[in-house]
Chains A and B, each alone.
Chain A
Amino acid sequence: MLFFSFFKTLVDHEVTIELKNDLSIRGTLKSVDQFLNIKLDDIMVLEEAKYPHLAAVRNVFIRGSVVRYVHLPAGAVDTALLEDATRREASNAAAAKGR
């Protein structure tokens, strides 16, 4: 749930999604779910000339499993908090295992 929790805070920020088919899409993150499916608005394909069929597309829904990378806006990420959240996650997992 850490990544879900994390991506939720990036809603309405601009991100670049790199897909496993080498397509890179930049757009405003509109929503994300626990499968890390992603909805983008006002999208722009980075290599527009290579993918002309996407020139007219304004928003997309991306299945989480086809995402290779998400380029994050550095300003919107609280690294210290992210570290803490990771620690919480780890301790939760440990607690769940012990249960």
Chain B
Amino acid sequence: MSFFGFDTSLPRDRGHPAMAPGFSQATDHFAGLSNADDDDDDGIDFEDTYDGLGDKLDEKDDAFNDETFGAPEEAIGKDFDFHGATARVADAMEEEHEVFNRSARNQSVARVAAAPTQPARVEPPTHVPVLRPDMSLWGSGPATTPQPEPQPDPTPVVPPVGRKILSLEEVEAQILANNEQKHQSSFQQPPAQAHQLPPQHQHTPPIVTPQLHQYPPPQHDLHQLQSQQFPARIQSMLQRNQTPPQVQHRQIPEQHPGGVPLQQQRMQPVAQPLHPSRNQYGMTNHVPTPQLQKMTEAEKARFLEEESKRLKRNHKIAQLARYNGLMTPADKNFITRIQLQHLVSINNAEDNANEDFYYIVHSAIRARTNPQQPLNQFAQTYLFRQSARGRNRQQDNHLQRMEQQVQRAVAAAKARPKASQLVLEGSLGKISFSNVKTPRPMLNIKKSDTSGGEPIRRTQRSTFSSADRKSLLRAIENVYDALLELEVHERERAKLPILMPDQQPQQAHVEWSTRRDQLVAKLWKETKIMEPIDPMSTATHPFIAILSYSKMKRAVQRIFRHLDPEQRVTVLTMIVVHLDILDVVKHGVYLPDETQLPSAVREEIEMFAASVLPPLLGYVYEAPLSIVIGLLGILLERVDVVAVSKTKIGLAFLTMFSSRAEIVKQAGGAPENELQQWQMMYDRLFDSLQGHWMECFPPGMFVDDVYVWQFLASIAVGANMPQQQALVSAVKDRVMENVRASKTLPPELGAQKSANVNLFMRAIGLDVELLG
């Protein structure tokens, strides 16, 4: 604080130059609060500058004072007693004291006596200020009435001449009258003012009312003066007389423009003696006691609640205010633009399915497997998260308005025609602007559309027999494109209105199913399965050719889902017919010196077993016997069965047919002629494999041969007595070998091996245990 009341704050202490050009003046709402806690910056306080040397003095070492100062103790004169001298001289002051002591009668008598010469400028008694009972006297008083040190007044105040001195009785009467008047008028005051006035000088700790004291600049000097010259009581009275301008300034801090902090900083020290319980944000703990006293219990409770709410709110604001002014309006605009761009792209529904395909489908799958986690759109999370949380109606209103604004802005941005490219004269390509989807601008080089690539590819596609790898891959991609289109369309079924079983399908349903049929037909065509089979040609059938790629193998399962039974049997027939040239069969035969297939082939075989076989198996296990007979007939007729039986996949097909037929046979109900036909087929199969049973086994002792045992079991079940004997004598060595090996192997592997053998043994009515 400045002693002479000058503004000692340095420019750098005045905070952010809120009025400077380029800075927002609207953003500084809470600047007053944010600067309130460093109110010591503006001046020099005694406590801050005192170096503490005085504390180091040793007060006890007075023994040699005589020697040092050369004077006996009795000889000390009184000429340094300025205080006493002043008291004796200033007769006029006595009068002032009298008036002062009366007006401030609720000050302790002791204090008046202790400071008999307290100088004070007193208001003319003609308008004795309204006095109110000071609650501090009844409660925790003394702390709130600071004791200013009596000090010689550099500018003694001369009382007005000819002024009438009031007696105690007169003063009291005046106060009473004044009080009554005030009381009446207080009802006509606007509630806010009535509410805020009393707390000014009434202090009782239990209830806290945050209030910010900000005084208009013109009052500054006056306050400085007052704080030095007058005791707190008088000062508070003076202040009350100045309340109208104050009220105007003590509103919610938001209404102050950026200039406030400066004033406030300067005013803080002045207000200090009045508000010792000021907190760091310049808020004081107040109680509007008289009002509180007038209230009923319920009102009181409500009032207190409101007060605490307000305190909380102010605290929050003050905390947030730390980050005020970090961004300029330009920064904010920039960010808003980015966010809007983002929202535009997010809300673009039809683009969404295309652009955000992975996210949407992935979340749909996850939502299906984990129903607890609802599928939520990013935009919804972005916009509605807060409104779900906010219970405050006013807050909701704001959010709603914001949502509406965002929606409007998004609509406007969408409506605006987008120029996505710029063609400069003489440039080689187009310069495309960055947007949300393509954040990096890129240069689009013009390409002439009349390149020779397209026609060539088209001719290749038409003559598919001479297909090269590239066109095969292209064909697979076409299958996938058709498949994806169909799947998206299937997903749209959910959007259709739900039909009751007896209801006529609506227009939408009809359209949907026609479109579906179209897409299925397209997919069917893309698989190239209907290309005619030319037995004379050396070229592979296109379907078999593309099936040699694992990409296509993976697709089979998905394609199968959309096919009708007739199409399914077509697929199955196509594969069976070409079983020996199927890549997994052709490459699945072990060469004489091989104990293991190349890893690429093994992967293909596994892929085939995992993706292609299951749907085929699923179909065959529900197929009627006639189809099984027919398929096996084709197989025996067109394919080298012995070669096929040497491979895992080939055996899988044979197992599939024989076990299905056996199941139908045992279930009964199959027509007699079909059973006879099947028996013929079976005999043919058995005869062709006779003598080659051992070749079914993969080379090596410790390989996975369970599929062979499965096949043998399925054959043995349907075999007659001589066939069984032939079979057993053929594989007897292998059985014995396996049983022996199972005993030397670790228990787990051994058990596995004997269980495999047992598959076959059980089929012929034996058991491994019987072999000892």
B358 touches A81 (CB 8 A): yes
A88 touches B362 (CB 8 A): no
With A78-B365, A87-B481 known to touch, is A34 a contact of B342 (CB < 8 Å)? yes
A78 to B437, CA, bound (A): 23
As a 0/1 sequence over residues 433 to 472 of chain B, the CB contacts with chain A under 8 angstroms (1 = contact) are 0001101000000000000000000000000000000000
* Of the residues A2, A34, A91, contact of B358 by C-beta under 8 Å: A2
User: Which residues of chain B have C-beta atoms less than 8 A from A6's C-beta?
Assistant: 358-359
As a 0/1 sequence over residues 67 to 99 of chain A, the CB contacts with chain B under 8 angstroms (1 = contact) are 000000000001011111101110110000000
Binds A, one of B228-236, B349-357, B590-598, B641-649: B349-357
A33 to B378, CA, bound (A): 11
B556 to chain A, nearest CB (A): 13
**Is A1 at the interface (CB under 8 A from chain B)?**
yes
* Of the residues A1, A9, A35, A89, contact of B363 by C-beta under 8 Å: A9
Question: Which secondary structure dominates where chain A touches chain B?
Answer: helix
A1 to B360, CA, bound (A): 12
User: Which residues of chain A have C-beta atoms less than 8 A from B362's C-beta?
Assistant: 9, 78, 81
B484 touches A82 (CB 8 A): no
B329 to chain A, nearest CB (A): 23
B354 touches A88 (CB 8 A): yes
A96 to B136, CA, bound (A): 80
Q: Which residue of B lies closest to A65 (CB)?
A: B440
**Is B38 at the interface (CB under 8 A from chain A)?**
no
Question: Which secondary structure dominates where chain B touches chain A?
Answer: helix
Chain B residue total in the interface (Cβ 8 A): 23
**Is B509 at the interface (CB under 8 A from chain A)?**
no
A92 touches B354 (CB 8 A): yes
A33 to chain B, nearest CB (A): 8
As a 0/1 sequence over residues 1 to 22 of chain A, the CB contacts with chain B under 8 angstroms (1 = contact) are 1100110110000000000000
A5 to B363, CA, bound (A): 11
Q: Which residue of A lies closest to B483 (CB)?
A: A84
User: Which residues of chain B have C-beta atoms less than 8 A from A85's C-beta?
Assistant: 357-358, 361
B342 touches A8 (CB 8 A): no
User: Which residues of chain B have C-beta atoms less than 8 A from A33's C-beta?
Assistant: 342
A14 to B405, CA, bound (A): 36
User: Which residues of chain B have C-beta atoms less than 8 A from A81's C-beta?
Assistant: 358, 361-362, 365
* Of the residues B359, B365, B477, B481, contact of A5 by C-beta under 8 Å: B359
User: Which residues of chain B have C-beta atoms less than 8 A from A84's C-beta?
Assistant: 357, 361, 480, 484
A5 touches B437 (CB 8 A): no
B88 to chain A, nearest CB (A): 71
User: Which residues of chain A have C-beta atoms less than 8 A from B587's C-beta?
Assistant: none
User: Which residues of chain B have C-beta atoms less than 8 A from A88's C-beta?
Assistant: 354, 357, 484
B601 to chain A, nearest CB (A): 22
A83 to B473, CA, bound (A): 14
A88 to B342, CA, bound (A): 21
A92 to B480, CA, bound (A): 14
A81 to B355, CA, bound (A): 14
A87 touches B436 (CB 8 A): no
B561 to chain A, nearest CB (A): 14
B577 to chain A, nearest CB (A): 29
User: Which residues of chain B have C-beta atoms less than 8 A from A87's C-beta?
Assistant: 477, 480-481, 484
**Is B734 at the interface (CB under 8 A from chain A)?**
no
User: Which residues of chain A have C-beta atoms less than 8 A from B481's C-beta?
Assistant: 87, 91
As a 0/1 sequence over residues 539 to 555 of chain B, the CB contacts with chain A under 8 angstroms (1 = contact) are 00000000000000010
B359 touches A8 (CB 8 A): yes
A33 to B436, CA, bound (A): 9
* Of the residues A9, A83, A89, contact of B359 by C-beta under 8 Å: A9
User: Which residues of chain A have C-beta atoms less than 8 A from B357's C-beta?
Assistant: 2, 5, 84-85, 88-89
A80 to B362, CA, bound (A): 11
B439 touches A5 (CB 8 A): no
A82 to B365, CA, bound (A): 13
User: Which residues of chain A have C-beta atoms less than 8 A from B480's C-beta?
Assistant: 83-84, 87
B143 to chain A, nearest CB (A): 44
B356 touches A5 (CB 8 A): yes
B554 touches A5 (CB 8 A): no
B366 to chain A, nearest CB (A): 8
B181 to chain A, nearest CB (A): 64
Q: In residues 16-46 of chain A, which contact B (Cβ within 8 Å)? A: 33-35
User: Which residues of chain A have C-beta atoms less than 8 A from B358's C-beta?
Assistant: 2, 5-6, 9, 81-82, 85
A10 to B9, CA, bound (A): 55
B365 touches A35 (CB 8 A): no
User: Which residues of chain A have C-beta atoms less than 8 A from B355's C-beta?
Assistant: 1, 5, 92
As a 0/1 sequence over residues 356 to 396 of chain B, the CB contacts with chain A under 8 angstroms (1 = contact) are 11111111011000000000001000000000000000000
A36 to B314, CA, bound (A): 39
A87 to B358, CA, bound (A): 11
With A34-B436, A84-B480 known to touch, is A1 a contact of B356 (CB < 8 Å)? yes
Q: Which residue of B lies closest to A7 (CB)?
A: B359
User: Which residues of chain B have C-beta atoms less than 8 A from A82's C-beta?
Assistant: 358
User: Which residues of chain A have C-beta atoms less than 8 A from B342's C-beta?
Assistant: 33-34
In order of increasing CB-CB distance, the 6 nearest A-B pairs are A85-B358, A5-B359, A1-B355, A5-B358, A9-B362, A88-B357
Q: A34-B436, A81-B362 are in contact. List 9 more A-B contacts (CB 8 A).
A: A2-B358, A8-B356, A9-B358, A34-B439, A81-B365, A84-B361, A84-B480, A85-B358, A87-B480
- What are 16 residue pairs bridging A and B, where the CB atoms are less than 8 Å apart in the complex? A1-B356, A2-B357, A5-B356, A5-B358, A8-B356, A8-B378, A9-B358, A9-B363, A33-B342, A78-B362, A81-B358, A81-B365, A84-B357, A84-B361, A87-B484, A92-B355
